[in-house]
Amino acid sequence: MIYVASDIHGCYDKYLRLIERLALKEDDTLYILGDIVDRGDGGIEIIKDVMKRKNVVCLRGNHDALALIFLKRFALQDHSAEERLKEGFKLWLEDGGEQTFSAFSKLDDNEKQSVLSFLDYLPFYEKISINGQRFFLAHTVCEKAKLIDIENCEARDFLFGEPEYEKCYFDDMIIVTGHTPTGFIDPDYVGQIWKGNNHIAIDSGAVFGNPLGCICLDTMEEIYVD
Ligand SMILES: [Mn+2]
């Protein structure tokens, strides 16, 4: 079975409850579509746990990308950062990075290096096929006109893009994204997975007090943990 969750944002307890609930078997995979860190204070713990598991695969979210940049610059002994980066660093800390920075700072040097290389190698998207149905998994995607010409997409399209959930991008492929709490797509879906127009939006807003949502792509079963 293939499961997908996203935007865990340092909610370590919810992450562990999801892992417990799924009880992944040898051929099962859990994809986490980015924004593992920031806001909640357990992001680094989640990374350390994911690194030990063979069948949990993470993609890169905007928070993971920024954490990589700023942890490298400011938590290691690198004082060569320019003023512009310092400004960005401050904004990141205020946007939930503080929790990640603080937890990272407590790691020993080996752990720091392995967390950084974990973040460094996160892919931007993944295409998979389940029983003939194709899926495009990413933290987020850009507008349809740009995504259908994927060769011209840039990293930031998969980190900061704004999906057009009202449009079907591909007739033969379902796009699965996090990043946008589903309540912003339809206020009736706060805390729930939203489906429509060959999109599945799975950011249930776990860090904002909602259950953490997860979907099984083989069965479309939705799983929620508090
Ligand atoms: Mn995001």
pLDDT tens sequence across 187-203 = 999 999 999 999 999 99
**How does residue 80 score in pLDDT terms, banded at 50, 70 and 90?**
low
pLDDT of the residue at 98 = 95
pLDDT of the residue at 88 = 87
Strand, coil or helix: 30: strand
35 CA distance to ligand 1 centroid (A)? 6
- For 131, left (φ over 0), alpha (ψ -120 to 50), or beta? left
140 CA distance to ligand 1 centroid (A)? 7
23 CA distance to ligand 1 centroid (A)? 26
Q: Over range 90-98, report the average pLDDT.
A: 94
Task: Answer yes or no: are the C-beta atoms of 135 and 128 closer than 8 Å.
Answer: yes
5 CA distance to ligand 1 centroid (A)? 13
pLDDT of the residue at 76 = 66
Nearest to 59 by CA among 146, 135, 1, 132: 135
20 CA distance to ligand 1 centroid (A)? 25
Q: Which residue has the tokens 């990043």?
A: 179
98 CA distance to ligand 1 centroid (A)? 16
- Residue 16: phi and psi, rounded to 5, are -65, -40
Q: Which residue has the tokens 């190698």?
A: 121
Percent of the chain surpassing pLDDT 70: 96
Please tell me the CATH superfamily of domain 2-225, with its number: Metallo-dependent phosphatases (3.60.21.10)
Range scoring the smallest mean pLDDT among 56-65, 76-85, 212-221: 76-85
Q: How far apart are CA 114 and CA 10, in angstroms?
A: 18
33 CA distance to ligand 1 centroid (A)? 9
What are the extents of the domains in the chain?
2-225
Task: Answer yes or no: are the C-beta atoms of 198 and 175 closer than 8 Å.
Answer: yes
Q: How far apart are CA 168 and CA 89, in angstroms?
A: 37
Q: What residues have a C-beta under 5 A from ligand 1, the ion? A: 35, 61-62, 179
Record the tokens describing residue 109, joined without a space.
């040097």
pLDDT of the residue at 84 = 67
pLDDT tens track for 25-72: 999 999 999 999 999 999 999 999 999 999 999 999 999 999 999 998
